[in-house]
A and B are shown apart, each in its own frame.
Chain A
Amino acid sequence: MIGTKEYYFNIFQVDQPLLDSLVEEALRSGGSYSDLYFENTSYGSLLLRDGAVTSGGCHQDFGVGVRVLSGEKTGYAYSESTAREHMMACARAAAQITDTPVEVSPYGTASPRRGEPNPAADRYPMQQPWREMPMSGFLPFLQKLEQDVRRRDGRIVKVIANLAFQVSDILMYNSARELKWDTRPMGSVSLSVVFQQGSQVENKSTSRSFRCGAEMLTDALIGEMASEVVKGVDERFAARRPKGGQMPVVMGAGASGILLHEAMGHAFEADFNRKGTSIFSDKMGCRICAKGISILDDGTLPGNRGTLNYDDEGVPGQKTYMVEDGVLTSYLHDRISAAHYGVRPTGNGRRESFRYAPLPRMRATYMESGTAKADDLIAEVQKGIFVDEFSNGQVQIGEGDFTFYVKSGFLIENGRLGAPVKDINIIGNGPAALADIRGVADDLIIDPGAWTCGKEQSVPVSCGIPTVLIGSLTVGGE
């Protein structure tokens, strides 16, 4: 949601001359670029536990971060006050990075859109702004969600439902005199359910997260989440660990996009490549997977958790193809890495809050649909595993080894789904797994869950993938 310039100036108690003074002060010792990042975030949360919404709260976070770049070196300081003297002190602290004056700034000329933010192009307008809604209005949503879930399965013994929302007013200014502003909403609902069958206990959870207002809290969402969380409970109770080892893995459409995030996305973030630590550091322009496969990172999907009108360096949100038709075509850049590589920033400079300097980070990372049918990919596998529900993943950038934890899936035997499996970790090597993709189905799903990436700082992301067959990964088991 994009307001007027005056709205943001008023929140942060600044004006144009003050912004100019701050960037000038930040560069007084000789830095090559400086920027300011103002943030005013309101958080709200409600928790339903044991049948009642008995816990909730609100939180405010306000401040400004000042960054000074000297070549590729970063000085950073922040203040929780926007009083002139406090911000000037920050500018001087950040300027400590400058021991060698750098004359030319390559950073400020890279934005393709230098004008004012356009409300008509807003990717996350709020029909029901969170800040204008009384908290009491949200209680019935959580209560109905719990009731709907409980009526669907008699084995449910505990339900926790959580609603969290935040709205961030952002104002950005830099030494190239680029001024951008934005208001970013985020609403998230999570549902965690414990089932008991005899002496056996199992848990399941699901979540939804979108950049939008409270209009997301609909009966349709209740039905969707309640249905999803009870789906597959019989299989969960019946599931066993498989025999571990190397085998073909069919990644179900949607949440399996964690494969792209861990196995490829991080390795495409340009800071890892600039520093030479990524396994893809010397692969630009090379074929890294089969023809027909395209992988992109997208900040333009309306209402998506990873979407941005502008990134946290004021660069317009955009759609970046990392792999086109099997060839590595772009890293994910912030301003520093873009200047290093001599390309335009891709709008991936992101930060957790004003307390952090931005880094190249993913937004919504997904693979475009292929031409195969999901059932045909499963039918190709004699003995393997199908996975479709995950909890977390990790990657070692240098080696390219990635893992993800599978909450549920199925064995594949003679081309058909067999016994259910659960609680297994899968491990592989990013470049090897990419090169070993044997088929891509035509059923891309962007997962709507509340994914958060934890590279040094936490930022909201999303991921997606069509059903994909990988020739061989190592599956944990007994």
Chain B
Amino acid sequence: MALSRHCLAFALEAGAHKARITLTKSLMNLTGVLNGEVDKVALALDRSLQLQLFVDGRFGTFSSNRLEQNELEAFIRESIDTVRMLEADACRQLPAPERLVKNARTGMELGLYDPAYESLTSEERRSLALESCYFGQAKAREETSWKLISEEGEYSDSVFDSLTLDSQGLEARHSETSFEIGYESTVEDAEGNRFSSYWWDASPKLQALQWKGCAEKACLRAAAQIGPKEIPGGKYTLIVDSECASKLLTPVLNALGGSSLQQKNSFLTDSLGKKLFPECLTVMDLPLTQGDTGCRLFDSEGVATRERAIIDKGVVNTYFLNTYISNKMGMEPTVEDATRVKVLPVGGCKTREDVLRKAGDGILVTGFNGGNSNSATGNFSYGIEGFLVKEGKIVHPVREMLITGNFLSLWGNLLAAAEDARPCLSKLIPTLAFTNVDFSA
């Protein structure tokens, strides 16, 4: 706190007219396992100071991890000189004071810090990593139709702390812990074909981390892909597992972002207040949920977040405009990005099985393999892996298939959204189903 305050004061003394300073600190411990043995340990301690400087109507961003006071002072002086070389831009301003967060004083307000972190020992971390392995059990199993070739996993925990100050009195702190486990497994079938998959979990609270069964699930997900069959391309109902469904919503959220809109590089230009999505679709931003992964009281400008509908019954309800972009566009500013996105249920489905039943026949996508989208047109094309579905039941795996379409028409064909998004996902997007999607094979 003292260092940040000193830097802020020093920047103003040295010629900055306004400034924002963010000091971040994080510590991470990682234990990696390979085939049932500890393979890697790592310790990571990071500190960084980021400066946004407003000088003579000009603006620049700077950062350094050399935090000795004399070095920082020299760095700030040089940074101010650099800003003076840029061209002026009247749109560069700090947020209006009334928009700034007022209740982020301790960093603990959202309940994302777990004191259990402080007492964890190296031995406990090692045990967590080893006890979650499935390698030994997989090797001992009777089944001969496949074998586990490789199992690689990581357990990690971290603590993150940030403090943001600005020259109009902002003081905002955010602290959180994170506990994560993830496994990737490769299996081989009787013909020597290999299949890989993963499973993971994460939580701000150690107690809530679902570490048991993580490696087993990765292994079984890999084995479930054995025996893929080719099916003809054509139009199918697309069911997307919650685990990967964000791939289909994230480009929509990006298209509502200020940078894309201001640069006319968004397929949702001039969409505010328009009903471009089906009545059944509501997408919320819930940044204030106590103890929930990814929640934040404020964005990087220190602007207070709030709960709101992003898409409300099919209507685009908000853009994401930071102070700069909003000034350039002549529009009211919002927060700079969505924080904790949630798609509300559609079609009376709670689980993936409900969605499969509702879809009847189609293709269940459990992972994407590459692909991209065109931000200006909303056209997309993605590689997929998954399963053929008949009468609501999984029949066999498919592979080397692609889906192609346009996001507006895709979401226009939304059939169902379940309520099965895992809390560890950064976006709470459940299993989804869309009719009439082009598959190439």
Contacts and interface: CB of A to CB of B under 8 A. Distances in A.
Contact of A62 (B59, B66, B92): B66
A427 B370 contact: yes
Contacts of B373: 423
Contacts of A402: 369-370
Contacts of A160: 263
B275 interface: no
Contacts of B34: 275
A6 B89 CA distance: 43
Contacts, number: 244
A158 to B, nearest CB: 5
Interface stretch (B7-15, B80-88, B105-113, B128-136): B80-88
A136 B195 CA distance: 53
Main secondary structure of the interface of B (DSSP, over half): strand
B265 A201 contact: yes
B263 A80 contact: no
Given A201-B376, A244-B233, A75 B82 contact: no
Contacts of B63: 57, 59-60
A52 B41 contact: no
Contacts of A379: none
A100 to B, nearest CB: 11
Interface in A359-395: 391-395
A94 B383 CA distance: 40
Interface residues of A, number: 82
Contacts of A46: 86
B383 A201 contact: no
Interface in B366-383: 369-377, 379-383
A80 B44 contact: no
A474 B122 contact: no
A194 B440 contact: no
Q: How large is the interface on B (under 10, 10 to 19, 20 to 34, 35 or more residues)?
A: 35 or more
Interface string B178-197: 00000000100000011110
Contacts of A53: 86-87
A72 B376 CA distance: 47
Contacts of B382: 425, 476
A425 B370 contact: yes
A397 B34 CA distance: 17
Nearest to A196: B264
Interface in A62-90: 62-63, 72-80, 90
B58 A54 contact: yes
B318 interface: no
Interface in B249-266: 263-265
A445 to B, nearest CB: 23
Given A61-B65, A425-B383, 13 more contacts: A46-B86, A73-B37, A77-B42, A80-B66, A194-B265, A244-B438, A276-B186, A277-B196, A397-B196, A425-B382, A428-B400, A476-B383, A476-B402
Interface of B: 32, 34, 37-47, 58-67, 75, 78-79, 82-83, 85-89, 92, 122, 149-150, 152, 186, 193-196, 222, 233, 263-265, 269, 328, 369-377, 379-383, 385, 399-405, 438-441
